[in-house]
Structure 1
Amino acid sequence: MKVETMEYIHNGNRQALTVIAVLVTFTTLCAAGRSAINLDISRSLEPSGRPGGMMINCSIDTTAAGIDTLARLAVFGSRPYGAGDDLDQLAVFDIWSKSPKLAEDLEEADVSVVGDLSSEPLTTPHLELIWRSYTASSRQVFKCVANGMDSDGQAASVSTTVQVGAMDAGCCYKMDKLSTELTGLSDKMGATLNLTGEVASQIISLNTLFGNMEALFTTADGRVITQIQSLANKFEKLEGKFDDVYGRNSPRMQTLTDKMEELQKKLNSLEQNINLQFRLSGIDKGRFDVSSVYEGRVYLVSKAEEVFNIARANNYCRESGGYLVELDDGQEYQFVFNLVSTIRGANSFWTGGNDIEEEGTWVYYNSKKPVPQLSWSGGQPDNMGGHEDCMEIRLNFGGLNDWLCNQPGKFICEIPI
């Protein structure tokens, strides 16, 4: 019998179909679910597939929200390459203004804003921002807030937040094409599985009948024995049919599986490249030198050599989407050491390591994680003078060194992609 083998293959490919379904779902843009307040984000595509405009629409059902008098609608967006919870107001419309207002930094951009706060029949209060020609943005979090009063005259407020991937319409167009191909593969594999599944189901059913009849063999008369023999012959023919069908379809199924895996790799690679380009597009190349990619991260080295201030330096790193470098192991340390070794005109490169809070307890400034055992220079850290509380890479020492936190040098940022 080959039924068990068939079931194993059948279930394995069902898992493959599940993977396809997950990948197809992954390419769908995020949007808030329909509720009292909604924030919808959509992009348009030019015929060439290049990104066109973008629309952010905040709307509210005042009845469902429990707001009797709507006083204000506002849309916020995360700061480019800043912390995820740092939001800037992009537009606002309140009852004291004749028209909605854009944030100052958007007034010169190719952006328009419209809105309506009335609750007249067939009218939905809304605030809408429209980019006519939208370039790649690193904003990933958007928020819509509505304020007003309820029927008792008490203050009422509702809000909703949407997080979207750092990608533009062009990339989504490519992902949609991959998604379509994956869906086609899913349909083909499903048809093949249905065919083999039907045959297998008949074999299992016939095998059960055969077993039941065989149990009666010892007490059966000649007619039953004849029926058993006939049933056995039919079973052998059906099993042979299954072997033939599976043999003809197995190579095709394997080919489809291989192609699916290839497309999955392309999709993953595309996502990584998109995220990298967005990260790089927001980095000030006049302020930083940028490394190649290492383990899903890039490293920035400040070009200016200045007096180090650990809090200020970490804020600069946060503006670029990262933090002062945190060397997690020897391999990462070696990569960063090799990087700074190629930079001329400097000897000291500051990291996030410090023992400011407790002498001798070295942690990273941003995450507060302990600094692992790394390649300290000989005899370091020595805390000479009693205030050497920051960790640097000192090239002429050939490794890490503890040093005064207010000394000149360059600092290193770590940026996850």
Structure 2
Amino acid sequence: MRSHGCLLNDQIIMTIFLGLFVLLTILFSDVEASARPVSVSVDLIKTSSHTARASCSFDPSLSVLEKVNQLTLYGSKPNSAKKDLNILASVDRWDTTPRLFGSFSANGADLEGIFGFENNRSELHVSWTSPSHSPTPGYRYRCVVQGTDHTGQFVTLSELGEINISEDQLCPVGKLDSLSGKFDKLMKSTIYTDLSLNNLEVRLENLENALNNSVGSSDDKCLETLQETIKENVDTKKAMASILTDIQKMVGKLSQSLSAQAAAVKKVEARLAFEISEEFRGKHYLASRSRWTSIQAADSACEQFGGYLVEIDDEDEFEFVLEFARKIGTPLDFATGMNDIDKEGQYMFYHSKTPVRYFKWNRAEPNNARGNEDCASIVIPHGGMNDFPCEPPYEVSYICEVEF
């Protein structure tokens, strides 16, 4: 009769699950559908430790993209230098598991996300409770989708949302009362269900007692038959457990195979737009076939293949990248992720936001000749680095750092 108890526990768990599902449905029933292909929204509840939920979504039926590669959520503090946005979360077509970045990853924010292949929606939802990232008026969040159109050209779509809140908008009493009423109804429904399950448990217990009495009064043949039936059930359970173990092993092998295939596909697609180096310290370097238009666009192109603008950490890495660029032949200079956009003379990496530790400048460089030379490139003939303007019309190629 223990199987009846397990069944009862399953029913209770299912009831709780359905109750939570209904509650979530009620809470989000007022969300309006966006007519834009890319949408970003932030819902805030101001408590002693600010609670927030940022959502980033993409509807392919409303865009010109033929193939979607990546969905990314960015955010920044108010009045940040040059309105720079930091990456918060991302999901892509090669690794469909969503990832957190920066302080969100360290502080343990909750992340939900799904990458929709073909014509399905892609979504990211980040929830956090942290005074260090309390979203006050002026905070901005950007939802960015990267992919290719029917001609194979890289396309980036984005939507920016700036948070402007007043105190009376943070916790509307009427809305809380409405939600409280709905929750009370749900709890009453759950209590009624629990009572019904309790009655069912009592009836099962009575049935068990009756069966025990029946077995006690039956002859030895009936008892022997019952014991054989129990043994058969135990053997069946062991066989099912063995089959389940085999299935889990097969799923694990299939998952590894799919990951390897995804990496291979990413590498093939990268070869269409980049020259690819040999492996160095577990990574590859991609030299772009197209010209640089801005540091933001170049880093976004690198992100589509799971990488970023190259970040050179020491002399060995610099010499490897320089030799790789020399083998390509042309162009003669390649942009890196180094820049002093925020503060003149203080060089940081664009993607990781960490200080640059290694430099190999050409003679008389950096010179900030045009007064706005905030980015850095490797000049192949001179074997060192020059500074140059980050924005058009100055154009160079660029190098990505990628882990396949």
TM-score grouping bracket, smaller chain normalisation: 0.3 to 0.5
